[in-house]
């Protein structure tokens, strides 16, 4: 069956999540390239300081990815073979790969049907004496029920490491995600609410971050800035077999500009979300994302769910129809337990996590970026409603 392309006015393809890069970012990067320091140095240090201040965090460590932050946090805690880390199956594979990297066992539990965040009740039933870490993911930018997660963690003396790749800037009960003492890892990947192209940040208690800083750069006692900058010394000690996870000043230059624009970016994202909600709320074929009363959603993703039985086509066909109308989409995510590595190693079947599976089969992420114009948003709305009109039962 061929795709049905309606006579819509959009002639150019709309990417799912285009970044917003202005002249200020370009000039800041050029300034870095013309300086004497392009790798980890003074701008990275400034970025750490300003990022921590923005979130009212006790400290921040700039890294080359959110994955690096999660891995470094686990390694800093000494998590390893024999330990268990509880997390969600509805996440990008990096959240779980890092558990494998340190030799621990990932323990997956199902998600809540409204937020699609990890279910604290399921976490409680999964804890054992071997549980060292609970690793919740703030799915799509909606904060996890952190009070309930921390309550469970305290009961077994586990540490909470938050995957906040989607959650900048989000608030839980008035507090910024990342403002606490526990480790929280953020992403600045190209599609995120602010970007350094690639990059990440780990927040947490200062003493923890100092240990993490050593591991993040080969386990060395001094980074290049301390060795080669004015007053530095060439001597260093290797204190542990660490990683190569440092952020460069070129990335930090982007980050410094993007951080100053973040509030404006967020206001535009919320405008787009309101337009989507107004347009789709009355369509009985569509289930909209939620925002609970006690949180401030970061709106990294706008995840639309198709109501079962309302349309004559599958989610995959729905995506194809939007593509034919020049609207880019994505799916977040293929559940971890359905990937061959995890399926084969741990013997998972697709229905092992029924809430996750039922939502995966009917979800798609619509374009969401501060770069979207009013016309872009109107085109997305028109395309979605056209598909639901054509294929409604």
- What is the reported pLDDT for 9? 73
Task: State pLDDT tens for residues 382-393.
Answer: 999 999 999 999
Peptide bond into 200 cis (omega under 30): no
Pairing, β 286-287 against β 302-306: antiparallel
Which helix (H) or strand (E) covers residue 315, if one does?
helix 315-324
C-alpha distance from residue 289 to each of 228, 306, 310, 363 (Å): 50, 11, 17, 10
User: 281-302 pLDDT, tens per residue?
Assistant: 999 999 999 999 999 999 999 9
What is the CATH architecture of 23-259?
3-Layer(aba) Sandwich (3.40)
By percentage, how much of the chain surpasses pLDDT 90? Answer: 93
Report the CATH fold assignment for 262-391. Answer: 3.90.1150
Residues 6+ apart with CB under 8 A from 277: 288
Query: What's the 3-state SS for 25-90?
Result: HHHHHHHHHCCCCCCCCHHHHHHHHHHHHHHCCCCEEEECCHHHHHHHHHHHHCCCCCCEEEECCC
The string of pLDDT tens digits covering residues 104-142 is 999 999 999 999 999 999 999 999 999 999 999 999 999
Q: Quick one: average pLDDT of 4-32?
A: 88
Domain with CATH 3.90.1150.10 in the chain: 262-391
Given the residues 43, 192, 230, 371, select the one marked as catalytic: 192
Q: What does the block give as tokens for 12?
A: 């150019």
Q: Find all residues with CB under 8 Å of 51, minimum gap 6, and list them.
A: 57, 60, 62, 201, 203, 255, 259
CA distances from 321 to 2, 93, 325, 326, 374 (A): 10, 27, 7, 9, 22
- Is 230 a residue whose pLDDT tops 70? no
How large is the angle between the packed helices 94-101 and 66-77, nearest 10 degrees? 30
Total number of residues shown for the chain = 393
This prediction's pTM: 0.96
Cα 49 to Cα 54, 96, 141, 203, 204, distances in angstroms: 9, 29, 23, 11, 13
Q: Which residues of the chain does CATH 3.40.640.10 include? A: 23-259
- Rounded Cα distance between 242 and 245, Å, is 9
Strands, sheet with 295-296, edge to edge from the N-terminal-most edge strand:
175-176, 171-172, 295-296
- For residue 60, name the pLDDT band (cuts at 50, 70, 90): very high
pLDDT of residue 5: 53
In angstroms, the CA 37 to CA 195 distance is 21
* Per-residue pLDDT, 236: 86
Residues 366/329, Cβ–Cβ less than 8 Å = yes
Catalytic-residue membership of 43: no
Per residue in 316-334, pLDDT (tens digit) is: 999 999 999 999 999 999 9
């Amino acid at each position: 069956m061929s795709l049905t392309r309606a006579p819509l006015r959009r002639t150019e393809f709309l990417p799912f999540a285009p970044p917003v890069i202005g002249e200020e970012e370009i000039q800041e990067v050029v300034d870095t390239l013309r300086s004497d320091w392009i790798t980890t140095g003074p701008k990275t240090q400034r970025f750490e300081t300003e990022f921590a201040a923005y979130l009212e965090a006790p400290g921040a460590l700039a890294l080359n990815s959110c994955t690096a932050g999660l891995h470094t946090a686990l390694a800093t805690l000494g998590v390893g073979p024999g330990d268990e880390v509880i997390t969600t199956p509805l996440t990008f594979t990096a959240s779980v790969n890092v558990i494998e990297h340190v030799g621990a066992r990932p323990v997956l539990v199902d998600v809540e049907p409204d937020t699609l965040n990890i279910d604290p009740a399921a976490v409680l039933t999964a804890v054992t004496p071997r549980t060292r870490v609970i690793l919740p993911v703030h799915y799509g930018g909606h904060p996890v029920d952190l009070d309930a997660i921390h309550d469970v963690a305290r009961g077994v003396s586990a540490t909470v490491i938050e995957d906040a790749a989607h959650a900048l800037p989000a608030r839980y009960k008035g507090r910024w995600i990342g403002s606490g003492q526990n480790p929280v890892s953020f992403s600045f990947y190209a599609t995120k609410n602010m970007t350094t192209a690639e990059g990440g940040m780990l927040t947490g208690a200062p003493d923890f971050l100092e240990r993490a800083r050593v591991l993040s750069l080969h386990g060395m006692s001094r980074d290049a800035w301390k060795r080669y900058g004015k007053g530095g010394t060439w001597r260093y000690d290797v204190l542990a077999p660490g990683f190569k996870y440092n952020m460069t000043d070129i990335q930090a230059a982007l980050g410094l500009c993007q951080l100053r624009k973040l509030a404006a970016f967020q206001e535009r994202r919320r405008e787009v979300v309101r337009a989507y909600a107004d347009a789709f709320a009355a369509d009985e074929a569509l289930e909209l994302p939620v925002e609970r009363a006690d949180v401030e959603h970061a709106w990294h993703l706008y995840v639309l769910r198709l109501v079962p039985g309302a349309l004559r086509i599958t989610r995959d066909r729905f995506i194809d129809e939007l593509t034919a109308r020049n609207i880019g989409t994505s799916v977040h995510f293929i559940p971890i337990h359905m990937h061959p590595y995890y399926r084969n190693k741990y013997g998972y079947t697709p229905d092992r996590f029924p809430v996750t599976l039922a939502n995966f089969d009917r979800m798609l992420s619509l374009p969401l970026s501060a770069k979207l114009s009013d016309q872009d948003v109107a085109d997305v709305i028109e395309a979605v409603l056209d598909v639901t009109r054509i294929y409604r039962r």
